[in-house]
Protein backbone atom coordinates (compact mmCIF):
# COMPACT_ATOMS: atom_id res chain seq x y z
CA UNK A 1 0.00 0.00 0.00
CA UNK A 2 1.39 3.39 -1.03
CA UNK A 3 1.15 6.01 1.70
CA UNK A 4 0.23 8.71 -0.82
CA UNK A 5 -2.78 6.68 -1.96
CA UNK A 6 -3.76 6.26 1.67
CA UNK A 7 -3.50 10.03 2.24
CA UNK A 8 -5.78 10.65 -0.74
CA UNK A 9 -8.24 8.07 0.54
CA UNK A 10 -8.35 9.61 4.02
CA UNK A 11 -9.04 13.08 2.66
CA UNK A 12 -11.79 11.73 0.41
CA UNK A 13 -13.24 9.74 3.32
CA UNK A 14 -13.72 13.04 5.17
CA UNK A 15 -14.77 15.27 2.26
CA UNK A 16 -16.87 12.68 0.36
CA UNK A 17 -16.31 14.87 -2.70
CA UNK A 18 -13.88 13.83 -5.46
CA UNK A 19 -13.39 17.29 -6.97
CA UNK A 20 -12.83 18.92 -3.57
CA UNK A 21 -10.26 16.32 -2.54
CA UNK A 22 -8.46 16.48 -5.89
CA UNK A 23 -8.18 20.27 -5.57
CA UNK A 24 -7.09 20.22 -1.92
CA UNK A 25 -4.50 17.48 -2.47
CA UNK A 26 -3.19 18.99 -5.73
CA UNK A 27 -3.91 15.99 -7.97
CA UNK A 28 -6.09 15.54 -11.04
CA UNK A 29 -9.50 13.86 -10.64
CA UNK A 30 -8.27 10.94 -12.77
CA UNK A 31 -5.20 10.47 -10.53
CA UNK A 32 -7.45 10.44 -7.47
CA UNK A 33 -9.80 7.90 -9.06
CA UNK A 34 -6.88 5.61 -9.96
CA UNK A 35 -5.50 5.82 -6.44
CA UNK A 36 -8.84 4.79 -4.95
CA UNK A 37 -9.19 1.97 -7.49
CA UNK A 38 -5.73 0.65 -6.57
CA UNK A 39 -6.62 0.67 -2.89
CA UNK A 40 -9.88 -1.14 -3.60
CA UNK A 41 -7.95 -3.76 -5.58
CA UNK A 42 -5.47 -4.19 -2.73
CA UNK A 43 -8.13 -4.63 -0.03
CA UNK A 44 -10.36 -6.69 -2.33
CA UNK A 45 -13.63 -4.79 -1.85
CA UNK A 46 -15.25 -1.40 -2.58
CA UNK A 47 -14.36 1.44 -0.23
CA UNK A 48 -16.97 3.92 -1.48
CA UNK A 49 -20.53 3.75 -2.75
CA UNK A 50 -20.91 6.42 -5.40
CA UNK A 51 -23.44 7.59 -7.93
CA UNK A 52 -23.85 10.78 -9.95
CA UNK A 53 -24.70 12.82 -6.85
CA UNK A 54 -23.27 11.29 -3.69
CA UNK A 55 -20.20 9.53 -2.33
CA UNK A 56 -20.47 7.41 0.83
CA UNK A 57 -18.05 5.17 2.69
CA UNK A 58 -18.76 1.44 2.72
CA UNK A 59 -18.30 -0.44 6.02
CA UNK A 60 -14.92 -1.58 4.68
CA UNK A 61 -14.03 2.03 3.84
CA UNK A 62 -14.94 3.12 7.35
CA UNK A 63 -12.65 0.45 8.84
CA UNK A 64 -9.80 1.44 6.51
CA UNK A 65 -10.23 5.09 7.49
CA UNK A 66 -9.66 4.29 11.17
CA UNK A 67 -6.75 1.97 10.37
CA UNK A 68 -5.23 4.45 7.93
CA UNK A 69 -5.34 7.34 10.37
CA UNK A 70 -3.47 5.34 13.01
CA UNK A 71 -0.99 4.08 10.43
CA UNK A 72 -0.15 7.53 9.10
CA UNK A 73 0.07 8.99 12.59
CA UNK A 74 2.46 6.21 13.66
CA UNK A 75 4.52 6.66 10.49
CA UNK A 76 4.84 10.41 11.06
CA UNK A 77 5.88 9.83 14.66
CA UNK A 78 8.45 7.21 13.71
CA UNK A 79 9.87 9.31 10.88
CA UNK A 80 10.44 12.26 13.18
CA UNK A 81 11.89 10.08 15.95
CA UNK A 82 14.42 8.63 13.51
CA UNK A 83 15.49 12.05 12.33
CA UNK A 84 18.79 13.23 13.73
CA UNK A 85 18.29 15.18 16.94
CA UNK A 86 20.22 18.19 15.76
CA UNK A 87 18.48 18.49 12.41
CA UNK A 88 16.14 21.51 12.17
CA UNK A 89 12.47 21.06 11.34
CA UNK A 90 11.73 21.22 7.63
CA UNK A 91 8.55 21.05 5.61
CA UNK A 92 5.41 23.03 4.86
CA UNK A 93 2.42 23.97 6.99
CA UNK A 94 -0.94 25.02 5.54
CA UNK A 95 -2.60 27.79 7.54
CA UNK A 96 -6.06 29.25 6.86
CA UNK A 97 -7.48 32.54 8.13
CA UNK A 98 -9.58 35.51 7.10
CA UNK A 99 -8.02 38.54 5.41
CA UNK A 100 -8.54 40.55 8.60
CA UNK A 101 -6.86 37.93 10.78
CA UNK A 102 -3.88 38.00 8.42
CA UNK A 103 -3.52 41.69 9.32
CA UNK A 104 -4.03 41.80 13.07
CA UNK A 105 -3.27 38.35 14.51
CA UNK A 106 -1.05 36.40 12.16
CA UNK A 107 1.94 38.77 11.65
CA UNK A 108 3.11 38.51 15.25
CA UNK A 109 2.80 34.71 15.27
CA UNK A 110 4.53 34.35 11.92
CA UNK A 111 7.34 36.66 12.97
CA UNK A 112 8.09 34.54 16.02
CA UNK A 113 7.68 31.32 14.07
CA UNK A 114 10.03 32.32 11.25
CA UNK A 115 12.65 33.40 13.77
CA UNK A 116 12.51 30.04 15.55
CA UNK A 117 12.04 27.75 12.52
CA UNK A 118 13.46 29.48 9.43
CA UNK A 119 13.43 26.31 7.32
CA UNK A 120 9.71 25.67 7.71
CA UNK A 121 7.49 26.98 4.91
CA UNK A 122 4.05 28.47 5.50
CA UNK A 123 1.37 28.16 2.84
CA UNK A 124 -1.23 30.76 3.79
CA UNK A 125 -4.78 30.69 2.42
CA UNK A 126 -7.18 33.52 3.19
CA UNK A 127 -10.92 33.48 2.71
CA UNK A 128 -14.32 33.45 4.35
CA UNK A 129 -13.81 33.05 8.14
CA UNK A 130 -16.95 30.90 8.27
CA UNK A 131 -14.96 28.15 6.50
CA UNK A 132 -11.98 28.11 8.88
CA UNK A 133 -13.05 25.24 11.14
CA UNK A 134 -14.16 23.09 8.20
CA UNK A 135 -10.79 23.64 6.50
CA UNK A 136 -9.06 22.02 9.47
CA UNK A 137 -11.59 19.21 9.87
CA UNK A 138 -11.27 18.29 6.18
CA UNK A 139 -7.44 18.38 6.30
CA UNK A 140 -7.32 21.22 3.77
CA UNK A 141 -5.27 23.13 6.36
CA UNK A 142 -3.25 21.94 9.33
CA UNK A 143 -4.15 25.01 11.38
CA UNK A 144 -6.63 27.88 11.14
CA UNK A 145 -7.37 31.11 12.91
CA UNK A 146 -11.09 30.96 13.65
CA UNK A 147 -13.85 32.16 15.91
CA UNK A 148 -14.52 29.44 18.48
CA UNK A 149 -17.83 27.73 17.66
CA UNK A 150 -20.44 27.63 20.40
CA UNK A 151 -20.10 23.83 20.22
CA UNK A 152 -16.46 23.01 19.50
CA UNK A 153 -16.15 19.75 17.51
CA UNK A 154 -14.67 16.98 19.63
CA UNK A 155 -11.87 16.43 17.10
CA UNK A 156 -10.44 19.92 17.63
CA UNK A 157 -8.12 21.65 20.06
CA UNK A 158 -8.53 25.44 20.36
CA UNK A 159 -6.45 28.15 22.02
CA UNK A 160 -7.83 31.64 22.47
CA UNK A 161 -5.83 34.56 21.10
CA UNK A 162 -8.21 37.53 21.42
CA UNK A 163 -11.77 38.50 22.28
CA UNK A 164 -13.38 40.47 19.45
CA UNK A 165 -16.74 42.29 19.77
CA UNK A 166 -19.41 41.51 17.17
CA UNK A 167 -21.19 44.72 16.20
CA UNK A 168 -23.88 46.23 14.02
CA UNK A 169 -22.54 48.91 11.67
CA UNK A 170 -24.19 51.68 9.63
CA UNK A 171 -22.91 54.29 7.13
CA UNK A 172 -21.20 57.20 8.81
CA UNK A 173 -22.30 59.76 6.21
CA UNK A 174 -25.88 60.85 5.61
CA UNK A 175 -27.86 58.34 3.60
CA UNK A 176 -31.48 57.36 2.90
CA UNK A 177 -31.11 54.84 5.73
CA UNK A 178 -31.28 57.69 8.22
CA UNK A 179 -35.06 57.70 8.35
CA UNK A 180 -34.99 54.19 9.85
CA UNK A 181 -32.10 54.89 12.25
CA UNK A 182 -33.13 58.08 14.05
CA UNK A 183 -34.98 56.38 16.90
CA UNK A 184 -33.45 54.55 19.87
CA UNK A 185 -34.57 51.28 18.29
CA UNK A 186 -34.00 51.07 14.52
CA UNK A 187 -36.94 50.11 12.33
CA UNK A 188 -35.68 46.64 11.51
CA UNK A 189 -38.67 45.74 9.32
CA UNK A 190 -37.72 48.54 6.92
CA UNK A 191 -33.97 48.86 7.43
CA UNK A 192 -31.97 46.81 4.86
CA UNK A 193 -29.68 44.34 6.64
CA UNK A 194 -26.50 42.79 5.20
CA UNK A 195 -25.34 39.57 6.86
CA UNK A 196 -22.78 36.82 6.40
CA UNK A 197 -24.27 34.00 4.38
CA UNK A 198 -23.03 31.40 6.90
CA UNK A 199 -20.93 30.93 9.98
CA UNK A 200 -20.95 31.99 13.62
CA UNK A 201 -21.71 35.69 12.98
CA UNK A 202 -24.82 34.71 11.03
CA UNK A 203 -25.98 32.28 13.71
CA UNK A 204 -25.59 34.84 16.48
CA UNK A 205 -27.30 37.56 14.49
CA UNK A 206 -30.22 35.29 13.56
CA UNK A 207 -30.59 34.33 17.23
CA UNK A 208 -30.48 38.00 18.27
CA UNK A 209 -33.36 38.83 15.94
CA UNK A 210 -35.34 35.78 17.05
CA UNK A 211 -34.95 36.72 20.71
CA UNK A 212 -36.36 40.16 19.96
CA UNK A 213 -39.18 38.79 17.82
CA UNK A 214 -37.95 40.69 14.76
CA UNK A 215 -38.15 39.63 11.13
CA UNK A 216 -35.31 41.66 9.59
CA UNK A 217 -35.40 43.10 6.09
CA UNK A 218 -32.57 41.00 4.64
CA UNK A 219 -30.94 42.93 1.79
CA UNK A 220 -27.91 40.73 1.05
CA UNK A 221 -26.03 37.64 2.22
CA UNK A 222 -22.29 38.01 1.75
CA UNK A 223 -19.24 35.73 1.99
CA UNK A 224 -16.52 37.61 3.87
CA UNK A 225 -16.71 40.41 6.41
CA UNK A 226 -14.65 42.88 4.37
CA UNK A 227 -17.36 42.96 1.69
CA UNK A 228 -20.01 43.71 4.32
CA UNK A 229 -18.05 46.77 5.50
CA UNK A 230 -17.77 48.02 1.91
CA UNK A 231 -21.49 47.57 1.20
CA UNK A 232 -22.45 49.35 4.41
CA UNK A 233 -20.03 52.20 3.66
CA UNK A 234 -21.75 52.62 0.28
CA UNK A 235 -25.14 53.00 2.01
CA UNK A 236 -26.63 49.66 0.97
CA UNK A 237 -27.77 48.82 4.49
CA UNK A 238 -26.57 48.01 7.99
CA UNK A 239 -24.40 44.98 8.66
CA UNK A 240 -22.89 42.78 11.35
CA UNK A 241 -19.12 42.22 11.52
CA UNK A 242 -16.39 41.63 14.12
CA UNK A 243 -15.10 45.02 15.27
CA UNK A 244 -11.54 44.10 14.26
CA UNK A 245 -12.69 44.07 10.61
CA UNK A 246 -13.61 47.76 10.86
CA UNK A 247 -10.27 48.61 12.47
CA UNK A 248 -8.34 47.07 9.57
CA UNK A 249 -10.61 47.88 6.63
CA UNK A 250 -9.77 50.70 4.18
CA UNK A 251 -13.48 51.56 4.40
CA UNK A 252 -13.54 51.44 8.19
CA UNK A 253 -13.63 55.22 8.59
CA UNK A 254 -16.83 55.37 6.54
CA UNK A 255 -18.94 53.29 8.93
CA UNK A 256 -20.07 53.68 12.54
CA UNK A 257 -21.07 51.20 15.22
CA UNK A 258 -24.74 51.03 16.14
CA UNK A 259 -25.50 50.70 19.83
CA UNK A 260 -28.00 47.85 20.24
CA UNK A 261 -29.49 46.16 23.29
CA UNK A 262 -28.55 43.55 24.17
CA UNK A 263 -25.10 43.58 22.61
CA UNK A 264 -24.17 40.67 20.40
CA UNK A 265 -22.01 38.00 22.03
CA UNK A 266 -18.33 38.66 21.17
CA UNK A 267 -16.09 36.27 19.27
CA UNK A 268 -13.37 34.24 20.95
CA UNK A 269 -10.79 34.22 18.14
CA UNK A 270 -7.98 31.73 18.28
CA UNK A 271 -6.08 28.88 16.67
CA UNK A 272 -7.56 25.45 16.01
CA UNK A 273 -6.04 22.11 15.02
CA UNK A 274 -7.13 18.49 14.93
CA UNK A 275 -6.26 16.75 18.20
CA UNK A 276 -4.83 13.72 16.40
CA UNK A 277 -2.27 15.90 14.60
CA UNK A 278 -1.09 18.01 17.50
CA UNK A 279 1.87 15.71 18.22
CA UNK A 280 3.30 16.23 14.72
CA UNK A 281 6.48 18.27 15.29
CA UNK A 282 5.76 21.02 12.73
CA UNK A 283 2.22 21.53 13.97
CA UNK A 284 3.30 21.41 17.59
CA UNK A 285 5.99 24.02 16.86
CA UNK A 286 3.45 26.45 15.38
CA UNK A 287 0.97 25.74 18.18
CA UNK A 288 3.51 26.49 20.90
CA UNK A 289 4.71 29.61 19.09
CA UNK A 290 1.13 30.93 18.94
CA UNK A 291 0.74 30.42 22.68
CA UNK A 292 3.80 32.56 23.35
CA UNK A 293 1.84 35.48 21.93
CA UNK A 294 -0.58 35.55 24.89
For the sheet with 91-97, list strands across it: 120-126, 91-97, 143-147, 267-274, 156-164
pLDDT of residue 292: 78
> E strands along 152-276, which residues?
156-164, 166-171, 192-196, 217-222, 238-242, 255-258, 267-274
pLDDT of residue 103: 87
b (16+ CB within 10 A) / e for 12-25: bbbbeebeebbebb
Cα→Cα distances 167→164, 182, 241, 246, 262, Å: 9, 18, 6, 10, 11
pLDDT of residue 86: 56
Distance, CA of 50 to CA of 292 (rounded, Å): 46
**0.85 exceeded by pTM:** no
Contact 265, 204 (CB under 8 A): yes
Low-confidence ranges of the chain (pLDDT < 70): 77, 79-89, 182-184, 293-294
pLDDT of residue 23: 87
pLDDT of residue 294: 47
Amino acid sequence: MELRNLELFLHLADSLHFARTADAMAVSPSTLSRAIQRLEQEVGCPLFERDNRTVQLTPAGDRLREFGRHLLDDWQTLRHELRHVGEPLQGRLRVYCSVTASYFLLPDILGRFRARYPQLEIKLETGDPALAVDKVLSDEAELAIAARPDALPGKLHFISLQRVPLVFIAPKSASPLGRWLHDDEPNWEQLPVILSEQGLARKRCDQWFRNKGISPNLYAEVAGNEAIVSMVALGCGVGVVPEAVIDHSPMGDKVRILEVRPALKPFDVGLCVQKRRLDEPMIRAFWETAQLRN
